[in-house]
């Protein structure tokens, strides 16, 4: 009945269903990694308008908002430095642009090289894609998951487009799984270092005293 459907809430089965279902809500949930980006440290190099590169990382359902886009400045190259708030297993990327020469034609992905500059893009990427024009944001480029299973920083380089002077991107979708950064080890060490040895003795003795009495 209806009640059973309701109980199976939206957050229950995001891992498996997103793979098989082409449905809107399910598919949107699969592209939720934009929520795990450390926005304070997100960078887009060669963006014409400062801060516009960050706008392209948003909900899959909002990819059609053409008021939000990034355009390159001096030439057709764009480089995004995308730090995550934990560890990510990246499974796929969507790149959406105009159906014209401003659409990026190639995408190169680098993992875990924070603060990449255009000089750094001379090195070998983890994976490279030839892009098709995708004005609706439907084409998914699957990553080699083994290479992207522990990503805390993703750099996305667009070296060229389909012939225009500048490159324009409306939306970049990132699909995958996120794991919280393990920070608790650090906390424990700090506590040990700052704890007073006398406290420890007390903790060990107190339980035994109870037993004696």
Give the confidence band of 36 by pLDDT, cuts at 50, 70, 90: very high
DSSP labels, 7-76: HS-TTSSHHHHHHH---HHHHHHHTGGGGGB-GGG-EEETBSSTTHHHHTS--GGGTT-TTS-EEBSSSS
| pTM of this structure | 0.75
Give the confidence band of 144 by pLDDT, cuts at 50, 70, 90: very high
For the chain, domain boundaries = 27-180
Token pair of 31 as six digits: 């592209």
Place of tokens 């609706």: 136
DSSP state of 133: P
Instruction: Note the pLDDT of residue 1.
Output: 53
Place of tokens 């948003």: 58
For residue range 87-99, list pLDDT tens digits in order. Answer: 999 999 999 999 9
DSSP labels, 89-132: EEEEEEEE--SSTTSB-EEEEEES-TT--TGGGGSPPSEEEEPP
Q: Percentage of the chain with pLDDT > 70?
A: 74
Q: Torsions phi, psi of 40, nearest 5? A: -60, -30
**Is 27-180 in CATH node 3.40.47.10?**
no
Instruction: Note the pLDDT of residue 193.
Output: 52
Q: Torsions phi, psi of 125, nearest 5? A: -75, 165
């Amino acid at each position: 009945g209806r009640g059973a459907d309701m109980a199976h809430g939206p957050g229950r089965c995001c891992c498996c269903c997103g793979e098989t279902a082409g449905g809107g809500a399910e598919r949107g949930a699969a592209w939720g990694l934009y929520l795990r980006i450390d926005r304070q440290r997100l960078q887009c190099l060669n963006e014409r308008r400062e801060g516009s590169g960050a706008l392209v990382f948003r909900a899959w359902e909002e990819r059609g908002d053409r008021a939000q886009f990034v355009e390159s400045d001096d030439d057709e190259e764009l480089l995004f430095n995308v730090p995550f708030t934990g560890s990510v297993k990246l499974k796929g990327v969507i790149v959406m642009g105009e159906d014209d020469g401003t659409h990026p034609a190639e995408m190169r992905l680098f993992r875990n090289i924070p603060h990449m500059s255009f000089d750094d893009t001379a090195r070998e990427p983890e994976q490279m894609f030839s892009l098709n024009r995708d004005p609706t944001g439907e084409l998914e480029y699957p990553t080699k998951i083994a290479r992207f299973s522990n990503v805390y920083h993703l750099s996305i380089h667009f070296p060229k487009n389909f012939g225009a002077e500048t490159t324009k991107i409306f939306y970049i979708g990132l699909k995958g799984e996120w794991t919280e950064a393990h920070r608790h080890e650090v906390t424990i060490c700090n506590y040990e270092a700052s704890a007073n040895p006398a406290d420890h003795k007390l903790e060990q003795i107190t339980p035994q005293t109870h037993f004696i009495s």
